[in-house]
Structure 1
Amino acid sequence: MKVIELIDYLQQNIEMSPKNLVGKVAINKKEVLSTLNEIRRALPDELEEAKNLVRRRDAILSEARKEEAAIIENSRKRAQEEYENCDILLAARREAEEILEKANSEANQIKAAAVKEAKELRYGVMNYADSTLSTLQKDIDLIGEESLKVVQNEMEEMLIRIYKEISSTTTRIRENNKELGNTNE
C-alpha cells in the first residue's frame, strides 16, 4: 500500500503548491522526482506480494486436490475392506457409496472455495495494479503538460526578447544611415 500513499502524497504536494497569478503551480521538481522514484521502488514489492498471494492460492488448490485424492483413496480402501470383511455386502456397498459421495462433496466444496479465493485474489491484484498504474499515468501526464507549458512560455519570452533586440538594432541602423546620409549632403 506504500505506492498509494506515495501517490496521495504527490497529489497533495501538487494541490498544496503555491499558484501564480495565471494559476500555474510551482512544484519542487526534485521532490516530485524523488517521490516518483520511491513509487518505482515500492511497486516491485507490492507486485511480489501479489505473486505470493497467487502462489498461496495455488498451494491451497494443490492441497485441496491432495486431500480430495486422499479422501477418495481412503474411502475406496475402507469400502474394499468392508466388502471383504463384512457379512452384509449390501450394507458395505451403501456405506462405501455414502463415503465416496461425502468425499467428493467435500472435495468439491474445498475446490470451489479455493477457486473462488483464487479468483478474488487475482481480480483484487489486477484491479489494484490497474488503479495504481492509471493514477500514476495521470500524474505523469499532468506533470508533462505543466512542463510543456513552462517551456512554451519561456520560448515565447525568448522570441519576444529577440524580436525587440532585432527591432532595436534595425532602428539604430536606420538612424545611423540617416545620419550618414545627412552628413554626406
Structure 2
Amino acid sequence: MDSILQLLDVMEDILDSSSAVPFTGKVMVDKDELLEIITDIRLKLPNEIKQSKWVIEERNKILIDAQKEAESIMKEADERIAKLVDENEITKRAYEQAEEIIEHAKENSKQMRLGAIDYADEILSLVENNIKQALEKIHKETSELENSLGQTINTIYENRQELKGNTQK
C-alpha cells in the first residue's frame, strides 16, 4: 500500500463488499482487518509529515542560496568601488553604478526570497490539505463504523431479550 488515500479506498471497498445485516441497512465487517488498515494509516502519517519537513528544508536552502548570491553581488560591487577610488567623473559614475548594483541585488534577493516563501507555502498548503482530508475521511469512516457496530449490538441485545421473553411463556 502506497498512501493513506489508498488505504482509505481499501476500507471503503471492505465496507462496500461486507455482508448486509438483514432489515437494518448495516453491514458486518472484520474488525481485525479494519484495525490493521487503521494501524497502517497511522504508520503512513509520519511520512506525510516528513514530506512537509523536506519542503521546509528545501525552502530554507533556497533562502540561503539567495542570501549567498546577494552577498556575492554586494561583495562584487564593493570590490568594483574599491578599484574606482578616483575623485573624478569616473569615480562619481562608479559610485552611482555601485548603488544601482546594490539596489538591484537587494531587489533580486527580495524577489527570490518571496518566491521561495510562496513556493514553500503552496507546497505546505497542499500537504496540509491532504492530511486534513485524510483525517476527515478517517474520522467519518470510523464514526460510521462505530455507529454501525453500536446499532448491531443494540439489535443483538433486543433479539436476545425477545428470545428470553419467548422462552418464559
TM-score (norm 1): 0.80
Q: Say if 1:54 and 1:121, in contact at 8 Å, map to a contact too.
A: no
Pairwise CA distance, 1:40: 1.2
Matching residue of 2:33: 31
CA RMSD of aligned residues (A): 2.0
CA distance in 2 between partners of 1:86 and 1:129 (Å): 64
SS at match of 1:128: helix
1:70-81 map, 5 Å = 70-81=72-83
Aligned pair 1:142/2:144, yes or no?
Answer: yes
1:48-63 map, 5 Å = 48-63=50-65
Pairwise CA distance, 1:139: 0.8
Gaps of 5+ in 1: 169-185
1:6-25 map, 5 Å = 6-22=7-23, 23-25=25-27
Matching residue of 1:46: 48
Q: What letter matches 2:96 in structure 1?
A: R
1:126-165 map, 5 Å = 126-165=128-167
Aligned pair 1:92/2:94, yes or no?
Answer: yes
The total of aligned residue pairs comes to 167
Q: Say if 2:48 and 2:127, in contact at 8 Å, map to a contact too.
A: no
Q: Which has the higher contact order (CA 8 A, sep 6+)?
A: 2
Over 3 Å counting, the alpha-carbon distance change for 1:132 and 1:86 in structure 2 is: farther
Pairwise CA distance, 1:86: 7.6
Matching residue of 1:176: none
CA distance in 1 between partners of 2:36 and 2:144 (Å): 17
| CA offsets 1:39-95 (integer angstroms, 9 cap, x no match) | 111111221122111121122222222222232232223223223598612221122
CA distance in 2 between partners of 1:103 and 1:86 (Å): 26
CA distance in 2 between partners of 1:25 and 1:126 (Å): 33
Q: Say if 1:14 and 1:27, in contact at 8 Å, map to a contact too.
A: yes
Q: Say if 1:75 and 1:99, in contact at 8 Å, map to a contact too.
A: yes
Whichever structure has more helix as a proportion of its residues is 1
Q: Say if 2:78 and 2:98, in contact at 8 Å, map to a contact too.
A: yes
Q: Please say which structure displays the higher CA radius of gyration.
A: 1
Gaps of 5+ in 2: none
Q: Say if 1:64 and 1:111, in contact at 8 Å, map to a contact too.
A: yes
Q: Say if 2:20 and 2:27, in contact at 8 Å, map to a contact too.
A: yes
Q: Say if 2:73 and 2:105, in contact at 8 Å, map to a contact too.
A: yes
Aligned pair 1:2/2:3, yes or no?
Answer: yes
Over 3 Å counting, the alpha-carbon distance change for 1:95 and 1:119 in structure 2 is: same
Q: What letter matches 1:11 in structure 2?
A: E
